[in-house]
Structure 1
């Protein structure tokens, strides 16, 4: 089995290859890995030939894919050129991401190639990041650390008017109660926080299991000390946090966004912070990414801004490689994968 392993500096080709070799060996298949790495994140990803958030040379990738049985990758550009190069041999594309935006799904479907992926692959990392940064921002730690690093000892952080809440005294509203939202709710419950959630598609039993009370959006805004975003980006959720939503939030609330930058109207958030209506914001995602040099939000002292790091952990890299190897092996042995992004009712078995 010739398997192209297109990695990067986070999930390397070597990591993918080791996982693929071990998994195919487990099901009785011999793997011949064909490794290639991009320099992401040292070099940014971009839109490439109609696919998004991709890094690497599609021409070089197409050369490797020709004659290959499978392609596994994190964010290599799986363009129409790459899919076309694999016609007649390529049986599956595996993507170690929650959404395969770096794959031309139309081209893959036309070629009869299933695209498997990993929803919720980084839920643990994102949930821990969300709660950790939430605590830091509520207590004013990023600004205090910046002051001290600049040589200024600011002891006024002990003034009652400046101190923040502990989580056990806070009401946290989650917008989106999918895999990440549910894990965040579990962690918050352990701290003793009251958790509200808004998600039209939420499973009431799952919400009850993690101690989250489902409410309408206006009620969430009015009652929450912290509003944390975990919704998928759709036309319905785009800029769900606009000027009206910010005005409806409890005065002094904290906004946390580790989901998508497009969920927030950046100009409206900047205005709300400038007017002092919010205590602050945690922003790990932006619109666009990276934010432009004239974007005021990352420079605000009340904003804890990070460069899209919520899902970065060693566990995410290692476990994603192992999981996608299992999905690819399932398809190659005629099974039905757990998560497939395009319709392909008859996976091609290959046991040779």
Structure 2
């Protein structure tokens, strides 16, 4: 039974023009309606300018939107924050003493200083798999577009050029059926891509030191070392996370292992690849085509060499941009906050060590 004299739990719903604050509000209310009807909520909302304004570093975090001052004003004395891009920097965490939980609607909390949150005893949750289906579909779309020259032929036809010569055998595209495709990274996204590729009839190789070889083989894919994958794959698609070990995982040395005319797709993270050698590899024909949704600098500058290189497809970091991703991210984020407000440990916590020193729910929900 609700205690009408109890203070409501103040919650910040910080969204943007992709995940609106109202999605967080509705999802959290729905998550608590049946399981904790006695929890009273009082919402504060914030809308950061992303994606109309690109994200970038803010304070000591990266890939954030808005300012520290704007976030602190929006937070007020909120105990729980459901967020998408807002910058939870060391300063913000230090100046928000009431904050008990940061629940992030992204696959990784790159807009949060996790070390500062951990020192403050604040659990930080995330939303794994929120855009897995969207990102997998987009990667497959980039593969098909590159293999079959779809963007180039569309642009040329609109200019009045009928490229019938694409039927000439030396210019003809390549089918996924029977083609060996290498996936660098075999998490949630890579597994979906592999499943669809298998349905197309592709031979699928995966390079991921953390993947379960037995599961990979059961899925019908072949686990191999990265160097072997690059040597054998006519198409390579990146699906790994960025860590100190994976930064520039593909570089001038190992890209030379690719078969002549290989297609390279990156819709994961720009830092996974050294972009400097790519123009020369395209000019030489070592790379037959390149399809990119992410970049070493976002957005790439006007004088970026790959703008002038042949057989390059570029899109503006759109792989996860579906309405279902927004809904799913809000629901997963709210589920983490709802568990916390029920006094439970959320499922997806990036710093579980806070529970070892502060109990089952971080600082613990205060009534």
**TM over 0.5, shorter chain:** yes
Q: Matches of 1:209 and 1:7 in 2, distance apart?
A: 40
Select 1:307's aligned residue among 316, 319, 328. Answer: 316
Structure-1 residue corresponding to 2:15: 7
What is the deviation of 1:33? 1.6
Number of residue pairs aligned between Structure 1 and Structure 2: 351
SS in 2 for 1:334: coil
Q: Decide whether the 8 Å contact of 2:251 with 2:273 is kept in 1.
A: yes
Q: Decide whether the 8 Å contact of 1:92 with 1:332 is kept in 2.
A: no
1:187 and 2:187 equivalent?
no
What is the deviation of 1:131? 0.9
Select 1:58's aligned residue among 59, 65, 68. Answer: 68
SS in 2 for 1:279: strand
1:68 and 2:78 equivalent?
yes
5+ residue gaps, structure 2, are: 1-8
Aligned CA-pair RMSD? 1.5
Q: Matches of 2:40 and 2:199 in 1, distance apart?
A: 46
Q: Decide whether the 8 Å contact of 1:91 with 1:332 is kept in 2.
A: no
1:319 and 2:328 equivalent?
yes
What is the deviation of 1:280? 0.3
What is the deviation of 1:105? 1.5
Q: Matches of 1:48 and 1:207 in 2, distance apart?
A: 39
Structure-2 residue corresponding to 1:254: 263
Q: Decide whether the 8 Å contact of 2:44 with 2:74 is kept in 1.
A: yes
Question: Residues 132, 32 of structure 1: CA spacing in aligned structure 2 closer, same or farther, 3 A cutoff?
Answer: same
1:157 and 2:176 equivalent?
no
Structure-1 residue corresponding to 2:5: none
What is the 5 A alignment of 1:180-329?
180-329=189-338
Question: Residues 151, 13 of structure 1: CA spacing in aligned structure 2 closer, same or farther, 3 A cutoff?
Answer: same
Select 1:16's aligned residue among 19, 24, 32. Answer: 24
SS in 2 for 1:267: coil
What is the 5 A alignment of 1:99-110?
99-110=108-119
Structure-2 residue corresponding to 1:350: 365
**Given the two structures, how large is their TM-score scaled by the length of structure 1?**
0.95
Question: Residues 83, 235 of structure 1: CA spacing in aligned structure 2 closer, same or farther, 3 A cutoff?
Answer: closer
5+ residue gaps, structure 1, are: none
**Given the two structures, how large is their TM-score scaled by the length of structure 2?**
0.92
Q: Matches of 2:307 and 2:20 in 1, distance apart?
A: 30
Q: Matches of 2:303 and 2:99 in 1, distance apart?
A: 45
Structure-2 residue corresponding to 1:48: 58
What is the deviation of 1:285? 0.7
1:60-101 Cα distance to aligned partner (Å, 9 max, x none)? 2212323212001111111233223331x3221100011111
What is the deviation of 1:301? 4.1
What is the 5 A alignment of 1:78-89?
78-87=88-97, 89=98
Q: Matches of 2:310 and 2:159 in 1, distance apart?
A: 13
SS in 2 for 1:93: strand
Q: Matches of 1:351 and 1:329 in 2, distance apart?
A: 14
Q: Matches of 1:263 and 1:316 in 2, distance apart?
A: 23
What is the deviation of 1:307? 0.8
